[in-house]
């Protein structure tokens, strides 16, 4: 018996293009400011603390800026602009 087929439309959407427009990371960590954005869950606070301790010692990072972000929602644009102005690299932490 001949198999029959049907054409269907794809229900999915691609990710928003701007989400993939990330700048190239710096070539070295030495001498730069690294921002750590933490949503303040206990484990992320610990991780942020470790970054602040070890990045300057082990990688020559000039400064680590720990910046709290909302617990369960996107960070405000103004906050992201401020971080972009002050740091050359950012780590976003959402640890639970």
Partner 1 sequence: MTAMPRRPAETKLHRISDDPDAIYAYALKHGWTDGLPVIPPTPARVRRMLAAVDMKPETVVARVDPRGGAATVERIAINAVMAGCLPEYLPVLIAAVEAVCDPSFNLHGIQATTNPVSPLLIVNGPIRQAIGINSGRNALGPGARANATIGRALRLILLNIGGAIPGVVDKAILGMPGKYTFCVGENEEESPWEPLHLERGFRREESTVTAVGAQGTNNVLCLSGAAEATLLLAADALATMGHNNVLIGKGNPVVFFTPGHARIFREQGFSTKQSVKEFLFEHSQIPADRFPPQEVLPTHPMAERALRNGKVCVARRQEDILVVVAGGPEPYHTTLCPSFGETWAVTKRITGGSRPAPPRPDAAGTGPRSPARPPQRTR
List interacting residues with partner 1 (CB under 8 A): 3-16, 18-19, 39-42, 70-74, 94, 96
Closest distance to partner 1 from the beta carbon of 39 (Å): 8
Closest distance to partner 1 from the beta carbon of 67 (Å): 15
Closest distance to partner 1 from the beta carbon of 80 (Å): 14
- CA gap 43, 89 in Å, rounded: 21
Plot region of 60 (φ>0 → left; ψ -120 to 50 → alpha; else → beta): left
| Structure tokens belonging to residue 15 | 């990710």
Is 31 or 70 the residue whose CB approaches partner 1 more closely?
70
- CA gap 8, 86 in Å, rounded: 49
């Amino acid at each position: 018996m001949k198999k029959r087929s049907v054409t269907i439309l794809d229900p999915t959407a691609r990710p928003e293009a701007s989400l993939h427009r990330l700048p190239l990371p710096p070539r070295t960590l030495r001498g730069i400011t690294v921002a750590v954005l933490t949503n303040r869950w206990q484990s992320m606070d610990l991780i942020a603390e470790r970054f602040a301790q070890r990045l300057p010692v082990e990688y020559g990072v000039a400064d680590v800026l720990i910046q709290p972000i909302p617990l369960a929602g996107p960070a405000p644009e103004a906050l992201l602009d401020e971080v972009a102005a002050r740091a050359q690299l950012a780590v976003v932490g959402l640890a639970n």
